[in-house]
Structure 1
Amino acid sequence: MKVTGLDRFILRLSPARGLDRIRARAAADVIAKRHFEAATPGRRTQNWRRPSGDANAANAPALTRLRNISRDLDRNNPWARHAKRIVSNHVVGWGIVPKPITPNARVKKRANELWNAWAYNPKACDWDGRLNFPAMQRAAVRTIAQDGEVLIRRRWLRMGDQDIPVQLQLLEADHLDMSRDLSPAPSGGVIVQGVEYDKRGKRVAYWLFEQHPGATARWTQRSFVSKRVPAEDILHVYRTDRIGQVRGVSWYAPIILRLKDFDEYEDATLMRQKIAACFSAFVTDVDGDGSPVGETDKEDPLIETLEPGMIQRLAPGENIVFGEPPQVSDHASFSKTSLRAVAAGFGVPYSALTGDFQNMPFSAARMERIEFRATISELQWDMLIPQFCDGAWSWAMEAAELAGRIVTLPGAEWTPPPPPMIEPDKEMIALQRAVRNGVKTFSEAIREMGYDPEEFLQEYADDLEMLDRFGIVLDTDARHRSQQGHPSDTGGDNGSADNGTTDEAKSDE
């Protein structure tokens, strides 16, 4: 701030008031500079809609329409379908596997046996009898990506029907009654977009249609009437984008228009090339004395089709000019720009979406995959595991206890599938050194590979016992071989580790 002549004059008359004036002017100058350009009214922002409602006010009018548009995209747009498949394959893979958590070894073993018999049998765990639990995980993720959310309903069976007398029913978001919005609830609370809250703001129930509202055939007229289902019988799984969000929004929402515009652009470009290709050649009359329009010489008809190796005699003065289809030189660059935006909006790597690694250095591809791993971990640990997997495990163990198949309710620790290795040799060496240097436990390393440490070690011990029984020594057996595959000096368990370390040090030298 520049001190003016008036400031100096007031300072001479009253230094205290002069300083106050300068301070006030300086503060006003700072405040004037503290603003956001995007929040300043002007020509560039005059048509920008900026509603101040909460997440539910913004989502409610658009949820159904976005869901229907996203389903149409998934049916007809290959990029949309592939993006959804990428997320499902990486989040779930071969399945997110639980490990019982309890100090009682017998309970742990029994819980594991019950879960495996139930979760990997579609007839036991799925209400529709078609999917096992890993397949249900994948179906849930695909539905969440497309519709924004999925519902899992607990269905009780009769005691004695099976060891775990409960099944899971996957439901699309259409089953939630959207007409029950901001209406009073029997509990004294309020119903928001089909979800009932009590007076304290806790979810207590869901209002569901027994049958999909868009089903072509209905069993009863009561299918049009929603029923109250307690919240303890429903798992509502979705990605929370805003605090206080009651319903999930389709992940296609930011890219719907881009996908549609790009699809129409490709159709228009293809049609342009097709039309241009129809005009392959033009016969011209150089002298300008050709026959009138509509008249042809029967003995020398006009060329109407071209064939390989064809020889055509031309009349005097006639010439053939071949058409040149229009070039689409900007198609590749425009496609890449559009698909990069689609990949970013959906949260998948551009190279994974398109398979285009051209002009992409290995380091850039590796960084892209590392960034994608963080996204996948977020979806696993913030959404799928706490909202779906934990609830399904609790339901299964509770049902097993009620059926008398287990005495206590163990918790569960979940192991997601490992991310695919980009450089297996280097990454395995780094993992080995992390364990040897003590910065990572052996069990942690095994879990990162997607296996349960206890089951892995038991299987490994069984393999070693079987090898000893048949008298087979593999060069990977650390009891008898060094890390380089050479015979161990001591042949004992303690000596193998030292030899492995020594050989590694020698190889590094």
Structure 2
Amino acid sequence: MGIITRTRNAFRAFTRAFSGYDVTGGSGRWPTQYMLPSPISQQLAAGRLASRKIAHQSENNALVASIIQHAVTAIIADGPTVRSAHPDAQIAAQLQRAWNNFFQDCSVEGGMALGGYLSRVARGFYVDGESFTQLVTDPATMRLKLRLLTADQVDSAKTIPSLGMTGDLPMIVAGVEFDRDGRRVAFWVLPTPPDAPWASVAPPVRISAFDICHVFEPRFPGVPRGISPLTPVAPLAMQLDTAVDAAVMKLKTTCLVAMVVRDIEGNLPLDAATDPASLHLEPGATLRLPQGCDVQFPPTSEMSTVSEVLSHIERLICSSAGVPSFMATGDFGAINYSAGKLGLATFQRRVKAIQQNHIIAQLLTPMWDRLVLLEVLSGRMRAPDYESNPERYSASFLFTGWPAIDELKKAKADTLAVAAKLRSRQEIISEGGRDPADVDAEIENDPFAADDLSANAGAIASQNEQETNDA
């Protein structure tokens, strides 16, 4: 082993010497541990520890709690609406009714709407870096129910490497089972959460991947588990707490008035009036000191730049977390309209990416497929083309849209875009999280709807800003 180690070190030294790049460590600026030589193994080793630390910060650090709250609210809001892709209006309406019933009571615990359940999923995504949902069939009603599993319930200690020497046995990594082709086939789940009171000591149970929805962001190819997106900012958030505590303590210390009385000649006579134990300052008090005494006040340090340092740290944390700092800190006075709109647009793109890539693709789509399957197998819906045309039984999900900063300008822009045939009504309505068919039905049934609404809208869109302000 000694020869191998010396050979390896010599090769690394040779590589650094002739690479010509500073990142190899030849200059000595790069610390030895400043690298990720094994991203998958290192993430698996740090994932559970990171989730525990960030869980503590989510309950005790004001900025981290605000970041998670704003991110979860933006991603989920009150839950998505669904649009069935089936061309038959009757079947589409039946699927819509089944979804509405499921939406109102989706959890095995009962009494929870889908919006609240998805908020717990999104919170787990930020705290643990992943969330597990078990699709359960209620034996009494043959309807879909959801069971939220903690990240610790999927046994991260369950690892059995195949290495090509176990025959047909699959490979298990951190509680996730893979087949020979690398597909996820099962999860090894503990019966109860390990931190629950009187938790079960039974070994993990194998549950098919067909019944588990794993919401996570695979940062590296082949990584089986997730890690919190707040991991890079967790140490800085802890330092922010320390800095705030130190600043508060400094303010308290600065508010104290301290005085040091010295006798330069060393002949200070002590009596009742000049006893150091009896000397104290009071409003309006006059202290008579003997001759030769000197009075000094301890210096107080400057604090004019503390707020700038704290604000800079807050901006770094929020930027890495993907949440605008003015939202997380509530400091809307530090930005103008253009900066706020730009920051909000970037945040909206990040939210939409999480909705489409993780919430919809990894959870809502399998959930919808299971709901449709149960409707067919239970006999509640006749679907003769379910196997031959499965694409007809797919669906699209619409999340609640973002409110416009200036609703009048937004309405004008949408009206002009539709008139110029640059956008469609369906696209604009879908951005608001509503089904265009529902909007058209409401307009048709509205007794106050007029035929000249389009003309009125065009007239409003053609008004200039001065006319609008005068009105």
- d(CA) in 2 for partners of 1:502 and 1:136? 44
C-alpha deviation, 1:273, in angstroms: 2.6
Partner residue in 1 for 2:26: 41
Which one of 191, 202, 206 corresponds to residue 210 of structure 1? 191
State the AA in 1 paired with 2:97: E
**Residue in 1 that maps onto 2:116:** 135
Q: Mark the CA change 1:504 to 1:226 in structure 2 (over 3 Å): closer, same or farther.
A: closer
Query: Gaps (5+ residues) in structure 1?
Result: 1-32, 468-476, 480-492
Map Cα deviations across residues 86-140 of structure 1 (whole Å, 9 max, x no partner). Answer: 110111112122111101111111111111112112xxx1012242101111110
Residue 273 of structure 1 contacts residue 325 of structure 1 at CA under 8 Å; is this kept in 2?
no
SS at match of 2:134: strand
1:296 partnered with 2:272: yes
Trace 1:120-199 onto structure 2 (pairs within 5 A).
Answer: 120-121=104-105, 125-158=106-139, 161-162=140-141, 165-184=143-162, 188-199=169-180
Which residue number in structure 2 is paired with residue 6 of structure 1?
A: none
Q: Is contact 1:189–1:201 with CA below 8 Å preserved after alignment?
A: no
User: Structure 1 281/362 Cα, relative in aligned 2: closer, same or farther at 3 Å?
Assistant: farther
Tell me which stretches of 4 or more aligned residues in structure 1 moved more than 4 Å.
33-37, 184-187, 280-291, 297-301, 316-325, 502-509
Q: Which amino acid aligns with 1:74?
A: S
TM normalised by structure 2 equals 0.84
Q: Choose which of 224, 230, 233 in structure 2 pairs with 1:255.
A: 233
Partner of 2:359: 384
Distance 1:35 1:420 in 2: 53
Output the CA distance in 1 between the equivalents of 2:93 and 2:377: 18
- How big is each residue's C-alpha offset from its partner over 1:235-275, in whole Å with a ceiling of 9 and x where there is no partner? 00012222222111012210111111111111122223323
Give the deviation of 1:35 after TM superposition: 6.3
Matched residue of 2:45: which SS? coil
Q: Is the 8 A contact 1:144 1:238 kept in 2?
A: yes
Letter in 1 for 2:421: G
**2:92 matched to 1:108?**
yes
Q: Report the Cα distance in structure 2 between the residues aligned to 1:89 and 1:34, rounded to whole angstroms.
A: 49
Out of 396, 401, 419, which is 2:402 matched to? 419
Do 1:277 and 1:325's aligned partners in 2 also have CA atoms closer than 8 Å? no
Offset, 1:499: 5.9
- CA distance in structure 1 between the partners assigned to 2:180 and 2:324 by the alignment: 44
Higher mean C-alpha deviation, range 403-412 or range 296-305: 296-305
Query: Cα gap change, 1:400/1:290 in structure 2, threshold over 3 Å: closer, same or farther?
Result: farther
- The one-letter code matched in structure 2 to 1:42 is S
Q: Secondary structure at the match of 1:61?
A: helix
Larger Rg: 1
> Contact (CA 8 Å) 1:282, 1:322: kept in 2 or not?
yes
Q: What amino acid maps onto 1:175 in structure 2?
A: Q
Please report the RMSD computed on the Cα atoms of aligned residues, expressed in angstroms. Answer: 3.0
Contact persistence 1:56–1:247 (CA under 8 A): no
> Aligned-pair distance for 1:45?
2.1
> Contact between 2:40 and 2:220, CA under 8 Å: does it hold in 1?
no
Question: Counterparts of 1:230 and 1:281 in 2: how far apart (Å)?
Answer: 74
How far, CA to CA, are the matches of 1:496 and 1:252 in structure 2?
Answer: 48
- In structure 2, give the amino acid aligned to 1:165: R
Once the two structures are TM-superposed, the CA of residue 498 in structure 1 deviates from its matched residue by 4.5
Deviations 1:17-50 (A, max 9, x none): xxxxxxxxxxxxxxxx996543463221253533
Residue in 1 aligned with 2:340?
Answer: 365
Shift of 1:358: 4.0
Q: Tell me the amino acid that sits aligned with residue 340 of structure 1.
A: R
- Give CA-to-partner distance per residue, 1:483-509, whole Å, 9 cap, x none: xxxxxxxxxx3x654565356547689
- The residue correspondences of 1:207-356 to structure 2 (distance < 5 A) are 207-218=188-199, 220-222=200-202, 225-279=203-257, 290-292=268-270, 296-297=272-273, 302=278, 304=280, 306=282, 310-315=283-288, 325-356=300-331
Q: Which runs of 5+ in 2 are unaligned?
A: 1-17, 387-392
Written as runs of structure 1 = structure 2, the 5 A alignment for 1:70-89 is 70-89=54-73
Counterpart CA distance in 1 for 2:463 and 2:67 is 47
2:37 maps to which residue? 52
Q: 1:455 aligns with which of 432, 438, 447?
A: 438
Q: Distance in 2 between matches of 1:399 and 1:320?
A: 86
1:305-362 deviations in whole A, cap 9, x for unaligned?
64xxx54343365998777754311211111111111012211111112122344332
Number of residue-to-residue matches in the alignment: 437
Q: Greater relative contact order: 1 or 2 (C-alpha under 8 angstroms, separation 6 or more)?
A: 2
2:74 maps to 1:98? no
Q: How far apart in 2 are the matches of 1:255 and 1:279? A: 38
Which whole-Å CA distance do the structure 1 matches of 2:121 and 2:459 have between them?
Answer: 49
Which stretch of structure 1 is more off in the superposition, 238-247 or 329-338? 238-247
Please give the TM-score of this superposition, normalised by the length of structure 1. 0.78
* Aligned-pair CA distance for 1:278: 3.5
Aligned match of 1:441: 424
By how many angstroms is 1:459 displaced?
2.0
Q: 1:460 to 1:76 in 2, by over 3 A?
A: same
